[in-house]
Amino acid sequence: MELQYHIKCKEGDIFPFVIIPGDPKRVQLIGSLMEDVKEIASNREYTTISGFYKGVGISVTSTGIGAPSTSIAIEELARVGAKTLIRVGSTGALDEKIKCGDMIINTASVRFDGATKDYVNPYYPAIASYEVTLALIEACEKLKYRYHVGIGASKDTFYGGQERPSFGDYHQSFMDNTVDDLEKAKVLNLEMEASTVFTLSSLFGLRAGAVLAVFGNRKTQEFEVKGEKEAAKATLESIKILSGWDKLKEKKNSKYFYPSLI
C-alpha cells in the first residue's frame, strides 16, 4: 500500500483503533496517557502517533478543523487499516443543565456540513456505532465522569454558522435562532466534525463514535476550557472495553455485541 498523500501513513503504520482529535496538540496529550508511543508522521494538520493503552494498540491522528480536512483523514486512514474511529474534542452545549467540563457522547449528528453531501444524499443519517457509544458510556461510568448522551449538530463555520458575531458585524437573517431551534429539537451540542466521522464511517463499513468535552454553554454563556484530559481518558478506556468485547464476540461466534453476551 502506497504512502497516503496527506496523512503520510502507509499500511502497517496504524492500528485498527484510531482516535481522531481535531487539534494536533491533542495528539500529544493523548500520547502522554499511552505507552511505547512513536511518532509516525506529521504533515499539514495531520499528526499521527501509535502506541499502547493497557495492552491495546491504538493510533491517534489529528484531523484539523471542520468537515473537509476530516473527510480526507478518514478516507486515508481507512485505506491503511483503520476499523474503529473515535472523535475526541471540544464542543458548545445547547442545554443549560450541561456544565463546562461535562462529557457529551453523541449518538448522531445533524448534517449541516457540506463535505458529506459530496458522498451521499443529505437525507442519509449521520449515526454513531452503538458499540462505540455503549463503550464510551461504560468508560465514563467507570471513570465517574459527568456525561450526557444524545444528538449533536455539526456546522462548517465557527462564527456565522453557529450564531456568533462575524467580522464587522456581518449578519444575515437566516443565521438567527440557530441555537434556540436546535435546543427545542433536543440537540445537545454544536461542533464541526462528528457528522463527517459518522457518515463516512457508515458508508465505509467502519465503527465510529464521539466524546466531547464541554468548553462552553451557548444558553448560559459560560465558558471554561475544561475536561480535555478527561475526554482523552474516556476515549482510551472505551477502546480497551471495545477490544474486550471484540474478543468476546469472536469467542462466542457473534457478529454483534449485546449485554447478555458477557
Active site residues: 6, 76, 164, 218
Q: Which residues contact 199 (CB under 8 A, 6 or more apart)?
A: 111, 116, 119, 120, 124, 125, 126
Residue type for position 98: I
The amino acid sitting at 156 is D
Q: Which residues pair with 46 in a beta bridge?
A: 43
Cα dist from 79 to 46, 57, 83, 175, 197, whole Å? 15, 18, 10, 38, 15
Phi-psi category of residue 169: left, alpha or beta, with phi > 0 → left and psi -120 to 50 → alpha:
left
Cell of 73: 483523514
Cβ contacts of 198 within 8 Å, gap of 6 or more: 106, 108, 109, 126, 127, 128, 208, 210
Q: Which of 29, 38, 138 is nearest to 88 (CA)?
A: 29
Q: Rounded CA gap, 29 and 21, in Å?
A: 10
**Residue 80 backbone dihedrals phi, psi, to 5 degrees:** -110, 15
